[in-house]
């Protein structure tokens, strides 16, 4: 699945809010902010995992081994996307790792990151306000039955 240009732009915007949800081996979800989440290219998402001991890192390994999906959300203003994907690889060495680590070290010089996770998107859902609004409004007789009376 290809990552659309609008989503790539949103992921590259430093002001976007980005979260990642993983699950442990019992299926318990774990959600965290991942400021480094971005589109590596049109095929992969990537983020820097900062800590070896984090629950996200443990879950990502489990999700990779068991081929379980993870979910990500990114938003800025009224633009928002949800992406479901599969962990593909933890990059611990080489030019890609170096590039991502250098970016992280500019923000957090003292951190010793674990690696760069690559995630292959499997489903991309437009969660923006306008899209949902259009969907709602497409219901028959929306203007008659879905309006809160007296709202500002």
Partner 1 sequence: MEYKLLETKRKEEFEIVCQKYPYAPRTFLLKADLLRRGLKPTEVAIERLQDPYYEHYPEVLFQWHHEDRTTSYKVPGTYYLNDGTNVFFILSPPAFDPYTLDLVNDEFWILSDEEPLEEVHFAKKPEYYDKMTTSGVPMQKVANLGSADCFFFCQSRHCHSWNEGLQCKFCDMDYNAKHQLKMGRGFNIRITPQEVYETTCEALKEKGRWRFMFLTGGADPRDGYERELEYNISLIEAMTKAGKEILGVDRLPLNIIMTPLEDEQYLRLYEAGISGFGSYIEIWDKEKWKLTCPGKEKYVGYDRWIERTLKAVDIFGEGNVVCGFVPGIEMAPPPYGFEDIDEAVNSSLKGYDFLLKNGIVPVGTQWSVMPGTDFFKMGATPPPLEFYAKLDIGRYELMKKYGREVLAHQWYYKHQPLATHVDWLRLL
Residues lying near partner 1 in the complex (CB under 8 A) = 52, 58, 61, 64-65, 88-95, 98, 101-102, 105, 112, 115
Count other Cβ atoms within 10 Å, centred on residue 73: 17
Residue number, 26 or 93, with CB nearest to partner 1: 93
**Within 13 Å, how many C-alpha atoms sit on residue 101's CB side?**
16
Residue number, 115 or 121, with CB nearest to partner 1: 115
Residue number, 80 or 118, with CB nearest to partner 1: 118
What's the min distance (Å) between Cβ of 72 and partner 1?
19
What are the DSSP calls for 56-86, one per residue?
HHHHHHHHHHTT--EEEEEEETTEEEEEEEE
Beta pairing class for 79-91 and 45-49: unpaired
What's the min distance (Å) between Cβ of 61 and partner 1?
6
What's the min distance (Å) between Cβ of 7 and partner 1?
24
Alpha carbons 86 and 79: distance in angstroms, whole number:
23
Contact 66, 3 (CB under 8 A): no
Residue number, 120 or 139, with CB nearest to partner 1: 120
What's the min distance (Å) between Cβ of 28 and partner 1?
16
């Amino acid at each position: 699945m290809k990552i659309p240009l609008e989503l790539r732009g949103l992921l590259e915007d430093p002001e976007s809010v980005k979260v990642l949800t993983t699950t442990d081996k019992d299926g318990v979800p774990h959600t965290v902010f991942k400021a480094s989440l971005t589109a590596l290219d049109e095929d992969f998402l990537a983020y820097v995992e900062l800590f070896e001991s984090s629950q996200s890192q443990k879950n990502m390994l489990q999700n990779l081994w068991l081929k379980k999906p993870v979910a990500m959300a990114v938003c800025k203003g009224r633009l928002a996307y949800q992406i479901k994907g599969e962990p593909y690889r933890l990059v611990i060495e080489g030019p890609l790792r170096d590039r991502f680590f250098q970016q992280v070290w500019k923000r957090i010089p003292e951190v010793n990151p674990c690696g760069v996770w690559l995630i292959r998107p499997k489903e991309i859902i437009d969660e923006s306000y306008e899209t949902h609004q259009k969907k709602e409004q497409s219901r028959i007789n929306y203007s008659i039955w879905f309006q809160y009376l007296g709202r500002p």
